[in-house]
Amino acid sequence: DTEVTQTPKHLVMGMTNKKSLKCEQHMGHRAMYWYKQKAKKPPELMFVYSYEKLSINESVPSRFSPECPNSSLLNLHLHALQPEDSALYLCASSQDHPGQGAYNEQFFGPGTRLTVL
């Protein structure tokens, strides 16, 4: 299984809602990532988990809260979002933790298209 899955595919939420995005991989990868991608722009890194511990938080607002319950799962909890948070949210995983070069090939999921009203 060389796939990263993400649910839901699409999500529409109001600014007062609480929702969660889910990501799963069964490749035995030890690093998992959340990216945010706005239209016609490259992905922007939000968080990195390495061995189930948060290793990078790219100054993301606290209305985004990541969680890594186990080595296969990564969640992104959303609360009190703003319309400008509307974007494609991509999850990725890699065999080893970042910085290992040859082991840093990342496998991306299909993304969740989030719209905040």
Partner 1 sequence: KNEVEQSPQNLTAQEGEFITINCSYSVGISALHWLQQHPGGGIVSLFMLSSGKKKHGRLIATINIQEKHSSLHITASHPRDSAVYICAVSPNYGQNFVFGPGTRLSVLP
Residue entry with tokens 């959303």: 78
Distance CA(46)–CA(55), nearest Å, equals 11
Q: Which of 21, 43, 81, 116 binds partner 1 (CB under 8 A)?
A: 43
Is the distance from CB of 63 to CB of 36 less than 8 angstroms?
A: no
95 binds partner 1 (CB under 8 A): no
Q: Which of 24, 85, 109, 114 binds partner 1 (CB under 8 A)?
A: 109
Q: Which of 14, 28, 61, 99 binds partner 1 (CB under 8 A)?
A: 99
Backbone angles phi, psi at 39, to 5 degrees: -55, 135
Residue 69 beta carbon to partner 1: minimum distance, rounded to whole angstroms: 22
Residue count of the chain, please give it. Answer: 117
Residue 16 beta carbon to partner 1: minimum distance, rounded to whole angstroms: 27
Distance CA(75)–CA(20), nearest Å, equals 7
Name which of 82 and 104 has its Cβ closer to partner 1: 104
- CA proximity to 86, closest of 65, 111, 59, 62: 111
The contact pattern for partner 1, residues 54-73, with x = CB under 8 A and - = no contact, is -xx-----------------
